[in-house]
Amino acid sequence: MMQTIHRVGGKTIGWRLMAPFCVLCGVGLLWVGWFFLTGPSYENGGPAGPPAIRILVGLMLLAMGAGVAVGSCLYGPCYVSRIQVDREAGLARFSVTGFVRGWSITVRPEDIVSARHHDGYYDSGRSVVNAPWTTVRLRGRRLPLIVDEQAVYEDYEALHKLLTHQSLALEPARKWQTQAWVKGVLEPAKKRKRMKKKRR
């Protein structure tokens, strides 16, 4: 039975709505850059400036457009929306957002080649960005997976053990904590309910 250990929530919907706009922006930058390189001269209605500046601006816009368009197409298939584990079957399932529709990748823990953490922290003095993430490499997959650490739900210990130690096993401490919670919280609550029923 699959158990969710990581879920990002509504971020996937926001990305699917924004992705086509990002691709169009990239295509627009490509068109403007190409126009700077091959368009008519200023006297004939083209962009102003000497040829060297036009070439420089055109190449810069082409690079920006290609980066935005290609990056927007690749980000969705890499962005993980949910991670589930099946400890009985020994499987882990990574659900990616995709571009229009997502899909799932089911692997065994030993197929996780590496996991690299990025703090994603940037302070410009005026604004602060804190967006930590982890890139995960899977055996047989060329593109890495992006695990957003600002998730709606995350079982940190289980996720860390899966990505770092390629294991689905629960920590002994967590098993002990679960048993203690059952004995200290759940069982007394059941006794109280039984006592209330007897009084009635």
Radius of gyration, CA atoms only, the chain: 25
Decide if 115 contacts 32 (C-beta within 8 A). no
What's the pLDDT tens digit per position in 139-196? 999 999 999 988 888 898 899 899 988 888 766 545 444 444 344 444 444 455 555 5
Q: Residue 65 class from Cβ within 10 Å (0-12 exposed, 13-18 middle, 19+ buried)? A: buried
**Which residues are registered as beta bridge partners of 93?**
84, 106
What's the pLDDT tens digit per position in 5-22? 999 988 888 888 888 899
What's the pLDDT tens digit per position in 82-103? 999 999 999 999 999 988 788 9
* Range in 23-27, 55-59, 179-183 the model is least confident about: 179-183
CA torsion through residues 23, 28, 31, 36, sign:
negative
Q: How many residues does the chain have?
A: 200
How much is the pLDDT for 38? 82
Side chain identity at residue 42, one-letter code: Y
Three-state DSSP state, 86 = strand
d(CA 96, CA 185): 37
Q: State the pLDDT confidence band at 62, using cuts at 50, 70 and 90.
A: very high
Provide, for the chain, the percentages of residues in helix, strand and coil under a 3-state DSSP scheme, each rounded to the nearest 5.
50, 25, 25
Side chain identity at residue 32, one-letter code: V
Q: State the pLDDT confidence band at 68, using cuts at 50, 70 and 90.
A: very high
How much is the pLDDT for 85? 95
b/e 73-92 (16+ beta carbons within 10 angstroms → b)? eeebbbbbbbbbbeeeeebb
Q: Which of 95, 88, 68, 72 shows the shortest CA–CA distance to 151?
A: 95
How much is the pLDDT for 93? 97
The overall average pLDDT reported for the chain is 82
Could you tell me how far CA 165 lies from the centroid of its own chain?
Answer: 20
How much is the pLDDT for 139? 94
Q: Please give the structure tokens belonging to residue 73.
A: 């197409």
On the question of pLDDT at 54 being above 90, the answer is: no
